[in-house]
Structure formats: structure tokens, C-alpha cells
Amino acid sequence: MARKAKRRGRPPGSKNKSKNTSKYKKVALTKVGKSVANMDVGQLKAYIDGLERTLAAKVQQQREILEGQLAGLQGYVSQKAAGLVRTVLQVPRTGERAKPKPKYQSKKDKSLKWSGRGMLPVWMRDEMKGTKLTKDDFLIK
């Protein structure tokens, strides 16, 4: 059996993303840092207030999105939980089954009946012995 060739180098589709993104972040931070360093106190306060308003708006927007997703999940969970609660809280049956209705009846003695479960009754064997009667002949109509 031939061995599989070992891959060399980076996996397909991978790039050095960390270098590219960090470069842009440094440029953005240095520009902001230089402009903030040149501002006076009043401008800085106004700039900070603007940033706080923007941050509050973004937080509110994110909260609304997450609350919508949470509401959807709660509906799903409540449906599942309701099904589980119904199955867990069902009262277990503690009685015996109802007796099955008789399907077969004796030709000679109408009080002798059989449900068709278990062994063939003695009275049916005796009545079938020596005759052409079958089990179907004893069915209750």
C-alpha cells in the first residue's frame, strides 16, 4: 500500500492575516493618538461624549439583537420543556388491564366463553374431538 504524500507548507486558503490587520490597527491608533494629543480639554470632553453616545447606541443595538434571539430560544425551550413536563408528570398506571372480551363460545353450553388468549380450553377441545369443528366454528358473531 502506497503512503500518502506529506503536505508541506501552509494549508490551502490560509494567509498571514495577523500581520495585515495589526498594521492597520497601529495606523488608526497612531492617527487618533496624535489628534487627541493636539486637542484642548473642551474638545476632548466633546469627543469623549460623542464616543460614549456611539458606544451606548451600539450596545443598545446589540442588546436588541441578542434579546430577540433569546426570545426565540425561550419559545423553543418552553415547547420542549412543556413536552417533558407532560411526560414526567403523567400518573403511572397502577391497575390491571381490563379483561378482554370473549371471542369464542361453546356450542353446547352458552355460558362457556374464551377470549382467544392462552391455551385452548378443555371444553373446546372436547367439543372438537371426533367432529369436523374448528376453532372458527366457535366464534361469537
Residue-wise pLDDT for 74-105, tens only, equals 877 777 777 777 777 776 777 788 889 999 99
Alpha helix ranges (H) inside 9-138? 17-38, 41-88, 122-128
- Tell which residue, 82, 79, 117, has the closest CA to residue 99: 117
Reported as a single tens digit per residue, the pLDDT across 125-139 is: 999 999 999 999 999
- Of the pLDDT bands very low, low, confident and very high (cuts 50, 70, 90), residue 21 is low
Q: How far is CA 131 from CA 36, 103, 126, 135, in A?
A: 114, 21, 10, 12
Q: What's this model's pTM, rounded to 2 decimal places?
A: 0.35
Give the position of cell 407532560: 86
Q: Is 140 a residue whose pLDDT tops 70?
A: yes
